[in-house]
Amino acid sequence: MRCVNCDFENMPGMAICVRCQSVLLADDVLVAPPRASAWRLRTAVSRRWHGLGTAIRSAWDRRPVRVPVSLTCVHWEAVFWSLVPGVGHIKFGGKFLGWLLLTSWLLLLLLSVLAIGLPWGMWLLAGAVFVHTYSLLAFLGGELATYSILSRLLIGLVAFLMLRTVVYDSTRWVGRQFYTPVQLNGMASGELLQDGDVVLCQGNWTRPERFERGDVVMYEIRPSRGGGVIIHRGFNVDRIVGMPGDLVDVVKGQLLVNGAPIPDGQEPLGGGPRHVSQWSFQLRGGEYLIVPSRVPALVLNLANERVDLAIERVSRVREEQIRGRVVLRLHPWSRFGHIE
């Protein structure tokens, strides 16, 4: 009994080949193949379903027969040069792509700097990071091609996030320690600064030890409660009108510091404490008077004495609450300029 599959000579009467386990006596085996059903809709649905399943499975699974990824095959020098997007391509082939990457990266970076502080500035920065990630991963392309599309997307996402965190966010953090861009939403009203403006404020490393009368500063409003008034945490931008130790009075709606009205050009951005009926207090050491331009509507519904108390509490700002001077108005570009 010779096996037709492996040519092994089996003992007579054997039903199965002892070497390859093939059937030796197949006389009763059905030989008519199955055919596609005439129920075409069911067949079509079954095939689409199978196709979808296999497509998902094959996309999800890494392909089984592949050369294992070898990092020694990666052109590390090109990857190193690609730390500046496109330079790797320019030096090691693909000059057009390299210049395209470099130009688009610089353009996106420049636009994101110009749009600093605006919400869509983040998208421009994300675009620059994307270009950077692409230029780096392009040199790993030959290796990454052995992975499924999902794996490649995941690797790209991880690389994008790592690059963004390690390079761009850390650079941004350092930059913010010098100057912080802030969009004024509900903080300012007046000629100098308007709602929606983007300003550049001094950061932790450039903040002066002492501030001067007339400085426009960004400061923190600390939460407090008592006397029927609740103040929530927030930030505000306004001008310093009183220095530590100054005597502050409001007489007939006019703000007096040390008995004298505020000189021209040094008034609060909103014009003064319009809703205050009576004030008379002395600023303690390390305490500045910054009268907020905007008063929350909730405060206005209170009785007069509580309005006075609430605004006084917000206006007496400790030195450590001040984040820094507002030095530059970035947006809108039509009003770009230094803030005096």
Partner 1 sequence: MPGRFSNLELRERQQEQDGELSLQQAGRYDADDYLHRATEAYRVNDFEKALRFYTRCLERDRTIIPAWVGQVQMLVQLGECHEARLWSDKALELFRENGELLAAKAQACARLNDRRASFACSDGALQAPGSSPWRWQVRGEVLLAAGEPNADTCFQKSLAEPAADWWDRIVIGRIYLFYGRATNALMYIRSALEAESAAAVAWYERGRCEAALAMTGAAHASYTRCLELCPEFAAAAEAIGGLQSMSFVEWLTTFLFRRKRR
- Which residues are near partner 1 by CB under 8 A? 4-6, 20-23, 26-27, 29, 31-36, 38-40, 46-47, 50-51, 54-55, 57-58, 61, 63-65
Helix (H) or strand (E) holding 191: none
In sequence order, which residues have a C-beta less than 8 Å from that of residue 317 and are 6 or more positions away?
A: 219, 287, 288, 289, 290
Nearer to partner 1, 57 or 232 (CB): 57
Minimum CB–partner distance for residue 125 and partner 1 (Å):
34
Dist. CA 64–CA 222, nearest whole Å: 60
Minimum CB–partner distance for residue 63 and partner 1 (Å):
6
Nearer to partner 1, 35 or 252 (CB): 35
Minimum CB–partner distance for residue 3 and partner 1 (Å):
9
Nearer to partner 1, 150 or 300 (CB): 150
Minimum CB–partner distance for residue 129 and partner 1 (Å):
29
Dist. CA 31–CA 220, nearest whole Å: 86
Minimum CB–partner distance for residue 17 and partner 1 (Å):
8
Minimum CB–partner distance for residue 9 and partner 1 (Å):
15
Question: Between vectors from CA 267 to CA 213 and to CA 282, what angle results, nearest 5°?
Answer: 60
Minimum CB–partner distance for residue 11 and partner 1 (Å):
17
Nearer to partner 1, 7 or 320 (CB): 7
CB 153 within 8 A of CB 59: no
- CA–CA distances in Å: residue 316 to residues 139, 220, 244, 310: 58, 11, 10, 10
Nearer to partner 1, 32 or 297 (CB): 32
Where does the chain show beta strands of DSSP type E?
A: 179-183, 198-202, 216-221, 224-226, 229-231, 234-239, 247-251, 254-257, 260-261, 279-282, 287-289, 316-318, 322-331, 337-338
Nearer to partner 1, 25 or 167 (CB): 25
Dist. CA 152–CA 156, nearest whole Å: 6
- CA–CA distances in Å: residue 177 to residues 54, 120, 323, 330: 53, 22, 11, 18
Nearer to partner 1, 4 or 166 (CB): 4
Strands 322-331 and 337-338: antiparallel
Dist. CA 179–CA 199, nearest whole Å: 10
Nearer to partner 1, 34 or 226 (CB): 34
Minimum CB–partner distance for residue 69 and partner 1 (Å):
16
